[in-house]
Amino acid sequence: DTEVTQTPKHLVMGMTNKKSLKCEQHMGHRAMYWYKQKAKKPPELMFVYSYEKLSINESVPSRFSPECPNSSLLNLHLHALQPEDSALYLCASSQGPGQGGYGYTFGSGTRLTVV
Amino acid sequence: TQLLEQSPQFLSIQEGENLTVYCNSSSVFSSLQWYRQEPGEGPVLLVTVVTGGEVKKLKRLTFQFGDARKDSSLHITAAQPGDTGLYLCAGSSPMDSNYQLIWGAGTKLIIKP
């Protein structure tokens, strides 16, 4: 299995809702990432998990809360989002520490719309 | 702060033409990756170059890493409509132990039949 699976594909949520994005990989990769991507822009790093521990939080607002239940799963919990948070949210994985330079495998993303 | 300058930002050409996309930096990278992204999908890794001067070929796509590992190019020969997409370069810094990527701004490529 050489892919990263993200669910849901599309999500529309109100500003008072709580929702979660899910990501799963079975490649044995030990680093997992959440990225946010706006239209016609490159991905922006949000969080990095290395060996199931949060190693990077790129000053992301607390309304985004990541969770890594095990080495294959990554969640992003959403609460009280703003319309400007609407974007494509991408999950990615790579081999362990120092191996990010050998390429990331991205999921197909969750298109999030906040209304 | 490391930057990757990618050019051109937009390119629209006829089927059968050749093109080159560039990524340049004043910083050294331990590796450089090229991705292709279709609308509403995640980026798909095309290639990773690691050694200065390295050239890799993927069918009609040729990737080159500069001798000093500060720049890279993607050359497409006889472009096809299926090559249409957003091409992104991303560099891995040798100074970064957390394996973050430095991203170029992307090249939106349209191949007209």
Residues B1-24 have pLDDT tens digits of 678 999 999 999 999 999 999 999
Closest CA to B94 of A27, A51, A98: A98
Do B43 and A56 lie within an 8 Å CB cutoff? no
Closest partner residue to A108 among B42, B104, B106, by Cβ?
Answer: B42
What tokens were used for A39? 């239209």
pLDDT at A40: 85
**Residue A48 to chain B, least CA–CA distance (Å):** 8
B35 contacts in chain A (CB < 8 Å)? 106
Closest partner residue to A90 among B42, B90, B104, by Cβ?
Answer: B42
Please state the φ and ψ torsions of residue A100, each to the nearest 5 degrees. Answer: -60, -25
- Rounded to the nearest integer, the mean pLDDT of chain A is 91
Is the pLDDT assigned to residue A98 strictly greater than 60? Answer: no
The DSSP H or E segment spanning A75 is: strand A73-79
Position with higher pLDDT, A95 vs A93: A93
